[in-house]
């Protein structure tokens, strides 16, 4: 049997209907073509879930996968991918969590888990190296994330735990899977799929070892990547590592893209009350001069901010908080009481639901109340005005428990809920393809905005994550990489299609090897950006960059070039597109919420900005050209699939008349 | 003499030290084969690095019946020689830090030897939560830190 380096080498298959588990060898060809994580899961989802499958039926699958460089000391390699057909959007769904469960799964001997069917009664999946078992979870069902995790850690000697909470059990469509108390595979309702299978938790402990193909070369590659990060200007300023992602509150406000009052505005007058600095000063528990945050495995960025509310009515609330959840329950709902925002995030966390979708849902209710499209009856008498923190906190409880009309509607997410209310109401939800937008206003950041429109899981920044336009890179870098100096400019459109396409491809790789978005975009220590910067600034000395191709090649023993990596990225994106095409997605769906084309930003640094409809069309045409997709329909062209060696995908699409 | 010191205030829980250790000593990436360990308390938000303290009066050395554990005069590390070790597990039981590991596959014990005076874990610790530093310095810094707290308390008491 040929040894597989870097990978653990096995796939765990769990059939919940029959209550059976077994392991088999990881499909090496599949791994070579899709690497792991999101790429591997995306292809499995395409193969296993047809267009007729209902997301909450036993026929949906839940796919959990680590990547080849998880657990191998490379920086920022603690990410895990969870993929399924999304109950929130009805299309491709996945979510990525930074969790110690990712490497642990590999130390236990498995690269990925394929979960099918539905258990008759609640169970949890216990993995202790070779010992794999489905254990009765009747006593855990209905319990919150914190309690469930406590119990499992106590029972099984500090295992790594991924659990679903009451929100997912009650079929809130955006239920999350929460790992070790705080680390969420938050988006797209992956937790709801897991709960629909009667699977309460996954608990893993592993004692095994991982080997790389060429240890000397590998160690050198990861040391070089380490040096690249240490030399990066962005990392040196320490913003993310000092304040965590919460740094974006101040950043977004200053640049005019902090969504405020349900995306009506992009500047929050009280941003300094919910900022990263405020979190550090009020809640942080670490007293060191550079607050040592908490980190995923072998990550020097340590972006997780841990804090505790010490006084007041929410005293005792504690946990990790991120920018997205601060914006969701803060500026988007017009709430400036940080205690309430922090507390809101933690109860959403304990219920196990996506803070982004939940915050957007409540903000949508608030705006609908204000414009008079719903009245108090719709929300069971709750005074859901912008800025009413108490009503917001109460709404979270009711949504998670699906109490009353508010709970019924709120659990659907802002897109389906507004559709259920009235046609007019749908104007007041910011979503693409049913997925709630994250905390960045497309009018203030054109590249981010465009990325929402083409992202495979709907309105989402994490497919591209084009921080490129936010960090004031020299225009020469935009010119060199994307053929247009405007690519580095937040408010300009030039080169943005190219910029997004490149970021998506590299992003697909990052998600598939088990690495983090911070390394792919945020710091730009990634090959070839440091090389270009070195040249542009006439810098002396040696250039260090994060070379994933070198890194993966040394780890796996495969010879993968930078160009091939981008090609694998394209392959991954096209498989996801193919999955979505089968579920009816076409060009008309690749768009932005109408509001961003129509309503000018009323105040703040981005005052007067809209997303130009004309420019959007131009960008989309260009993007389709780059992707090899049909301009009219948005279908994938035959030669594109052939080029990417996706013949099996082509065959299926051809049968269904979905190829041009 | 230098000492390997662990500081949970600075630890981020990233466990790079564990992987660097297992790689340098075993050529593998495997926390279970690491000489150093980070115990994570996720709910409390605390991470505690722990490993061999290379004690002055080392219990492991005292209980070893075959003298497989001895002091290295150059680095002051307590060394365990797997070739002499008879696998009686006494050291494992005696060590108050749980710093003696057992390799199930090869049936030998292992422990930190300070990488012959150049500990790999320290090189990968970005926040210096694991540090290899002069003992006197450790002592001195403790005094300063404690004194600083007292001074701060005094100035607070005087309303400054």
User: What's the rounded mean pLDDT across residues A333-344?
Assistant: 98
- Residue A310, chain B, CB below 8 Å: the answer is no
pLDDT at residue A361, rounded to an integer: 98
Q: What values do phi and psi take at B49, rounded to 5?
A: -75, 140
Between chains, do B12 and A294 touch, taking CB under 8 Å as contact? yes
Contacts of A78 (CB under 8 A, 6+ apart): A70, A98, A99, A100, A102, A103, A295, A296, A297, A298, A299, A514, A516
A567-587: burial string, b at 16+ Cβ within 10 Å, e else: bbbbbbbbbbbbbbbbbebeb
Q: Which CATH number fits domain A10-205: 3.40.50.300, 2.10.70.10, 3.60.9.10, 3.40.630.30?
A: 3.60.9.10
Distance CA A563, CA A578 (A): 23
Listed residue (A382, A380, A370, A368) closest to A420, CA to CA: A368
Structure tokens at B103: 């390799």
pLDDT at residue A271, rounded to an integer: 97
pLDDT at residue A41, rounded to an integer: 98
Closest residue on chain A to B29 (Cα):
A210
Closest residue on chain A to B22 (Cα):
A209
CATH number of the domain that B88 lies in? 3.30.70.20
Between chains, do A292 and B12 touch, taking CB under 8 Å as contact? yes
For residue A289, pLDDT over 60 is answered with no
Q: Shortest CB distance from B42 goes to which of A107, A180, A307?
A: A180
Domains A239-436 and A446-526+561-655 share a fold: no
Which residues 53-82 of B are in CB contact (within 8 Å) with A? none
Q: Shortest CB distance from B10 goes to which of A72, A182, A288?
A: A288
Q: A94 forms bridges with which residues in the sheet? A: A83
Distance CA A409, CA A402 (A): 8
Contacts of A73 in chain B (CB under 8 A): 16, 19-20, 23, 29, 124
pLDDT at residue A583, rounded to an integer: 97
Instruction: Count other C-beta atoms under 10 Å from residue A221's C-beta.
Output: 23
Contacts of B12 in chain A (CB under 8 A): 292-295, 299, 302
Closest residue on chain B to A161 (Cα):
B42
Distance CA A368, CA A374 (A): 6
Which residues 214-243 of A are in CB contact (within 8 Å) with B? 215, 219, 226
For residue A302, pLDDT over 90 is answered with no
Listed residue (A227, A380, A392) closest to A325, CA to CA: A392
User: What's the rounded mean pLDDT across residues A150-158?
Assistant: 95
- Residue B102, chain A, CB below 8 Å: the answer is no
| 3-class secondary-structure state, position A147 | helix
For residue A209, pLDDT over 60 is answered with yes
Contacts of A290 in chain B (CB under 8 A): 127
Q: State the nearest Cα–Cα gap between A457 and chain B, in angstroms.
A: 30
Interface test with A, best of B16, B37, B42 (most A CBs within 10 A): B42
Distance CA A460, CA A398 (A): 26
Between chains, do B14 and A296 touch, taking CB under 8 Å as contact? yes
**Between A215 and B139, where is the model more confident?**
A215
Distance CA B19, CA B28 (A): 8
Q: Which CATH number fits domain A239-436: 3.40.50.1100, 1.10.569.10, 2.40.50.140, 1.25.40.10?
A: 1.10.569.10
Whether B69 is covered by a domain: the verdict is yes
Contacts of A306 in chain B (CB under 8 A): 45
Question: How, if at all, do strands B101-103 and B108-110 pair?
Answer: antiparallel
Distance CA B6, CA A240 (A): 25
Distance CA A445, CA B22 (A): 44
Contacts of B20 in chain A (CB under 8 A): 73
Structure tokens at A184: 């969420």
Q: Shortest CB distance from B29 goes to which of A210, A286, A293?
A: A210
For residue A188, pLDDT over 60 is answered with yes
The answer to whether the CB of A124 falls within 8 A of the CB of A134 is: yes
Q: Shortest CB distance from A285 goes to which of B10, B45, B126?
A: B45
* Chain centre to alpha carbon of residue A279: 23
Instruction: Count other C-beta atoms under 10 Å from residue A601's C-beta.
Output: 23
Between chains, do B43 and A285 touch, taking CB under 8 Å as contact? no
Q: Shortest CB distance from B27 goes to which of A107, A181, A215?
A: A215
Distance CA A459, CA A17 (A): 34
- Residue B27, chain A, CB below 8 Å: the answer is yes
- Specify the residue for token string 């104007």: A427
Q: B29 forms bridges with which residues in the sheet? A: A210
- Residue B127, chain A, CB below 8 Å: the answer is yes
pLDDT at residue B151, rounded to an integer: 85
For residue range A440-467, list pLDDT tens digits in order.
Answer: 999 999 999 999 999 999 998 889 999 9
Q: Shortest CB distance from A292 goes to which of B10, B19, B28?
A: B10
Distance CA B31, CA B18 (A): 5
Between chains, do A219 and B23 touch, taking CB under 8 Å as contact? yes
The answer to whether the CB of A388 falls within 8 A of the CB of A360 is: no
For residue range B107-153, list pLDDT tens digits in order.
Answer: 889 999 999 999 999 999 988 999 999 876 777 777 888 888 888 87
Q: State the nearest Cα–Cα gap between A29 and chain B, in angstroms.
A: 24
User: What's the rounded mean pLDDT across residues A188-217?
Assistant: 97
Q: B137 forms bridges with which residues in the sheet? A: none
Q: A135 forms bridges with which residues in the sheet? A: A124
pLDDT at residue A432, rounded to an integer: 96
Q: Report which DSSP code applies to A245.
A: G
| 3-class secondary-structure state, position A459 | coil
Interface test with B, best of A212, A298, A320, A514 (most B CBs within 10 A): A298
Q: Shortest CB distance from A72 goes to which of B13, B29, B124?
A: B29
For residue A241, pLDDT over 80 is answered with no
Distance CA A347, CA A355 (A): 10
- For residue B89, what are the CA distances in angstroms to B33, B102, B106, B109? 17, 9, 15, 8
Distance CA B21, CA A505 (A): 34
Contacts of B115 (CB under 8 A, 6+ apart): B24, B25
Whether B94 is covered by a domain: the verdict is yes
Q: State the nearest Cα–Cα gap between B11 and chain A, in angstroms.
A: 7
Whether B85 is covered by a domain: the verdict is yes
- Residue A296, chain B, CB below 8 Å: the answer is yes
The answer to whether the CB of A473 falls within 8 A of the CB of A598 is: no
Structure tokens at A75: 């920086």
Listed residue (A139, A349, A197, A33) closest to B42, CA to CA: A349
For residue A167, pLDDT over 70 is answered with yes
Helices (H) and strands (E) in chain A — how many of each? 28, 16
**Strongest mean pLDDT among A207-221, A454-468, A539-553:** A207-221
Q: Domain coordinates of chain A in residue numbers?
A: 10-205, 239-436, 446-526+561-655
Distance CA A459, CA A470 (A): 19
Contacts of A289 (CB under 8 A, 6+ apart): none
| 3-class secondary-structure state, position B2 | strand
Instruction: Count other C-beta atoms under 10 Å from residue A81's C-beta.
Output: 27
Q: How many domains are contained in chain B?
A: 1
Which residues 161-200 of A are in CB contact (within 8 Å) with B? 180-182
**A542: pLDDT confidence band, cut at 50, 70 and 90?**
confident
Instruction: Please spell the DSSP secondary structure of A317-352, one letter per residue.
Output: -EEEE-HHHHHHHTGGGT---HHHHHHHHHHHHHHT
Contacts of B153 (CB under 8 A, 6+ apart): none
Listed residue (A46, A8, A51) closest to A26, CA to CA: A8
Whether B140 is covered by a domain: the verdict is no
Q: Shortest CB distance from B42 goes to which of A181, A207, A300?
A: A181
Q: What values do phi and psi take at A585, rounded to 5?
A: -70, 130
For residue A290, pLDDT over 60 is answered with no
User: What's the rounded mean pLDDT across residues A379-400?
Assistant: 97
pLDDT at residue A495, rounded to an integer: 96
**Angle formed at CA B76 by CA B72 and CA B78, multiple of 5 degrees:** 65
User: What's the rounded mean pLDDT across residues A318-341?
Assistant: 96
Q: Shortest CB distance from A300 goes to which of B26, B45, B126?
A: B126
pLDDT at residue A20, rounded to an integer: 98
Q: State the nearest Cα–Cα gap between A245 and chain B, in angstroms.
A: 16
User: What's the rounded mean pLDDT across residues A370-375?
Assistant: 95
- Residue A295, chain B, CB below 8 Å: the answer is yes
The answer to whether the CB of A69 falls within 8 A of the CB of A166 is: no
| 3-class secondary-structure state, position B49 | strand
Between chains, do A210 and B47 touch, taking CB under 8 Å as contact? no
- Residue A483, chain B, CB below 8 Å: the answer is no
Phi-psi region of A334 (alpha: psi -120 to 50; beta: other; left: phi over 0): left
Contacts of A242 in chain B (CB under 8 A): none
Q: What values do phi and psi take at A274, rounded to 5?
A: -125, 30
Between chains, do A100 and B19 touch, taking CB under 8 Å as contact? no
Distance CA A111, CA A554 (A): 18
Contacts of A286 in chain B (CB under 8 A): 9
Q: Shortest CB distance from A73 goes to which of B9, B20, B127?
A: B20
- Residue A71, chain B, CB below 8 Å: the answer is yes
User: What residues make up the domain containing B52?
Assistant: 2-134
Contacts of A307 in chain B (CB under 8 A): 45
Between chains, do B15 and A298 touch, taking CB under 8 Å as contact? yes
User: What's the rounded mean pLDDT across residues A210-217?
Assistant: 97
**A293: pLDDT confidence band, cut at 50, 70 and 90?**
confident
- The residue ranges of chain B whose pLDDT is under 50 are none
Phi-psi region of A58 (alpha: psi -120 to 50; beta: other; left: phi over 0): alpha
A296-334: burial string, b at 16+ Cβ within 10 Å, e else: bbbbbbbbbbbbbbeeeebeebbbbbbbbbbbbbbbbbb
**Between A352 and B153, where is the model more confident?**
A352
Between chains, do B14 and A290 touch, taking CB under 8 Å as contact? no
Contacts of A296 in chain B (CB under 8 A): 14
Contacts of A283 (CB under 8 A, 6+ apart): A307, A308, A309, A310, A321, A338, A342
pLDDT at residue B159, rounded to an integer: 65
User: What's the rounded mean pLDDT across residues A300-321?
Assistant: 92
Q: B38 forms bridges with which residues in the sheet? A: B49
Question: How, if at all, do strands A123-128 and A199-205 pair?
Answer: parallel
A446-526+561-655 carries CATH number 3.40.50.620 = no
| 3-class secondary-structure state, position B81 | coil
Q: What element of type H or E holds A136?
A: strand A131-136
pLDDT at residue A266, rounded to an integer: 97
Structure tokens at B15: 């466990």
Contacts of B104 in chain A (CB under 8 A): 207
Between chains, do A182 and B127 touch, taking CB under 8 Å as contact? no
Distance CA B87, CA B100 (A): 11
User: What's the rounded mean pLDDT across residues A615-635?
Assistant: 98
Q: In percent, how much of chain A has pLDDT > 70?
A: 98
**A240: pLDDT confidence band, cut at 50, 70 and 90?**
low
For residue A288, pLDDT over 60 is answered with no
For residue A594, pLDDT over 60 is answered with yes
- Residue A306, chain B, CB below 8 Å: the answer is yes
The answer to whether the CB of B38 falls within 8 A of the CB of B11 is: yes
Contacts of B141 in chain A (CB under 8 A): none
- Residue B21, chain A, CB below 8 Å: the answer is no
């Amino acid at each position: 049997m040929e040894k597989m380096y870097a990978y653990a080498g096995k796939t765990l298959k769990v059939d919940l209907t029959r209550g059976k588990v077994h392991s088999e060898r990881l499909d090496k060809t599949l791994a070579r073509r899709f690497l792991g994580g999101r790429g591997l899961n995306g292809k499995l989802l395409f193969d296993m879930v047809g267009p007729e499958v209902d997301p909450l039926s036993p026929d949906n699958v839940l796919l959990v996968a680590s990547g080849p460089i998880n657990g191998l000391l490379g920086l920022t390699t603690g990410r895990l991918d969870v993929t399924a057909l999304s109950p929130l959007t009805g299309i491709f769904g996945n979510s990525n969590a930074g969790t110690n469960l990712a490497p642990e799964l590999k130390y236990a001997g498995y690269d990925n888990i394929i979960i099918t069917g539905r258990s008759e009664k609640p169970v949890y999946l216990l993995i202790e190296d070779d010992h794999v078992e489905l254990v009765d979870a009747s006593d855990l069902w209905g319990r919150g994330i914190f309690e469930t995790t406590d119990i499992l850690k106590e029972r099984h000697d500090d295992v790594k735990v991924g659990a679903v909470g009451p929100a997912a059990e009650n079929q809130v469509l955006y239920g999350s899977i929460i790992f070790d108390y705080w680390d969420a595979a938050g988006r797209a309702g992956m937790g709801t799929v897991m709960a629909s299978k009667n699977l309460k938790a996954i608990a893993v402990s592993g004692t095994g070892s991982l080997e790389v193909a060429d240890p000397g070369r590998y160690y050198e590659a990861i040391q070089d990547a380490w040096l690249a990060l240490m030399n990066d200007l962005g990392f040196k300023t320490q913003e993310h590592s000092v304040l965590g992602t919460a740094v974006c509150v101040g950043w977004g406000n200053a640049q005019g893209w902090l969504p405020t009052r349900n995306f009506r505005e992009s500047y929050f007058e009280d941003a300094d009350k919910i900022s990263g600095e405020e979190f550090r000063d009020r809640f942080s528990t670490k007293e060191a001069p550079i607050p040592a945050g908490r980190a995923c495995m072998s990550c020097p960025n340590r972006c997780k901010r841990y804090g505790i509310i010490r006084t007041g009515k929410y005293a005792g609330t504690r946990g990790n908080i991120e920018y997205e959840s601060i914006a969701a329950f803060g500026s988007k709902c017009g709430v400036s009481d940080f205690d309430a925002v922090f507390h809101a995030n933690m109860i959403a966390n304990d219920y196990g639901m996506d803070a982004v979708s939940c915050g957007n849902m409540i903000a949508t209710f608030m705006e609908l109340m204000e414009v008079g499209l719903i009245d108090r009856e719709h929300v069971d008498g709750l005074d859901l005005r912008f800025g009413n923190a108490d009503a917001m906190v109460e709404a979270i409880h009711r949504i998670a428990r699906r109490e009353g009309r508010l709970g019924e509607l709120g659990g659907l997410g802002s897109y389906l809920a507004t559709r259920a209310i009235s046609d007019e109401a749908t104007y007041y939800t910011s979503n693409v393809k049913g997925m709630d937008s994250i905390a960045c206003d497309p009018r203030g950041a054109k590249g981010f905005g465009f990325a929402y429109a083409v992202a495979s899981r709907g309105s989402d920044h994490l497919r591209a994550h084009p921080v490129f336009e936010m960090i004031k890179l020299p225009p020469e870098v935009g010119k060199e990489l994307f053929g247009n100096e405007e690519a580095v400019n937040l408010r300009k459109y030039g080169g943005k299609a190219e910029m997004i396409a490149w970021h998506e491809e590299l992003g697909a790789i990052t998600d598939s090897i088990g690495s983090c978005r911070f390394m792919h975009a945020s710091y730009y220590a990634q090959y070839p950006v440091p090389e270009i910067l070195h040249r542009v600034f006439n810098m002396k000395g040696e250039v260090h960059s994060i070379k994933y191709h070198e890194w993966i090649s040394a780890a796996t023993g495969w010879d993968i070039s930078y160009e091939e990596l981008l090609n694998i990225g394209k392959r991954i994106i096209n498989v996801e597109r193919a999955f979505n095409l089968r579920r009816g997605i076409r060009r008309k769906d690749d768009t932005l919420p109408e509001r961003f084309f129509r309503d000018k930003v009323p105040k703040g640094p981005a005052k007067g900005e809209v997303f130009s409809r004309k420019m959007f069309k131009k960008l989309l045409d260009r993007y389709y050209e780059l992707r090899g997709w049909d301009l009219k329909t948005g279908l994938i062209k035959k030669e594109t699939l052939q080029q990417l060696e996706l013949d099996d995908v082509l065959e299926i699409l051809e049968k269904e008349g979905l190829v041009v | 003499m230098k000492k390997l010191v662990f500081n949970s205030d600075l630890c981020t829980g990233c466990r790079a030290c564990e992987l660097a250790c297992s790689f340098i000593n075993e050529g593998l990436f495997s926390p279970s084969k690491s000489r150093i360990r980070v115990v994570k308390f996720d709910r409390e938000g605390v991470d505690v690095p722990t490993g061999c303290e290379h004690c002055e009066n080392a219990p492991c050395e005292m209980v070893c019946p075959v003298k497989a554990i001895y002091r290295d005069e150059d680095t002051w590390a307590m060394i365990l020689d797997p070739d002499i070790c008879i696998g009686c597990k006494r050291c494992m039981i005696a060590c108050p830090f749980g710093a003696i590991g057992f390799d199930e596959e090869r049936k030998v014990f292992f422990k930190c030897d300070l990488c012959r005076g150049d500990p790999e874990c320290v090189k990968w610790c970005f926040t210096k939560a694991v540090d290899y530093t002069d003992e006197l310095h450790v002592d001195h810094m403790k005094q300063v830190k404690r004194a600083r707290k007292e001074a701060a308390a005094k100035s607070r008491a005087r309303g400054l």
